[in-house]
Structure 1
Amino acid sequence: MIHQNWGKLVCEHFTNKNLELPNIGDFVNGEVVACAPFGIWLDIHCGVPALLEIIQLDIQNFKPEDYPEWMPKIGEKFDAVVVVVKNKEI
């Protein structure tokens, strides 16, 4: 489900910033804190929100023609690989 107030949800969730950023290529597990039309905001326990962009999702499991029905719910868990940290790409 896409949340109209996704920005507020993200800001409210990240009030304590540890800033222990992962490295590019790290495998992370995150919990969905908000969904936007362009992606899913995850808490990967580093103190800042992680954005899992829709274009990065596996189209075998998340088919474009089924959008937005497959959008996750807040609290669902996702595994991901870090591809960008502070605008540094692989």
Structure 2
Amino acid sequence: MSKKHMIEDFIDSIWISEIESGIVIYEAIYTDITKSGISTDMILNFLSALVSFADEVFVDEIKHIKLSNHKIFFDFLKHVMLVVSLSDKIF
């Protein structure tokens, strides 16, 4: 018998933030992926800095970041950034 998978089984977190200000518009945390409960603002500010770095230095866009146990995917609209963190156990 196959187990039905819920969104919480593979998505750790979803964030939507305004690109310029870094203000979090939406967040859904299904699994705390941080070691000590680091704030969402700190996570998104760091990810925004990486996005800006790639744009300024390489004139390129980050599509995803691969960690040993997680993948973080990015998508960009006009003024918002969508970030989805997935557990690597589904890949």
TM-score with structure 1 length normalisation? 0.27
Q: Which structure carries more helix by proportion?
A: 2
Q: Which structure carries more strand by proportion?
A: 2
TM-score with structure 2 length normalisation? 0.27
Q: Which has the higher contact order (CA 8 A, sep 6+)?
A: 1
Structure whose CA Rg is larger:
2
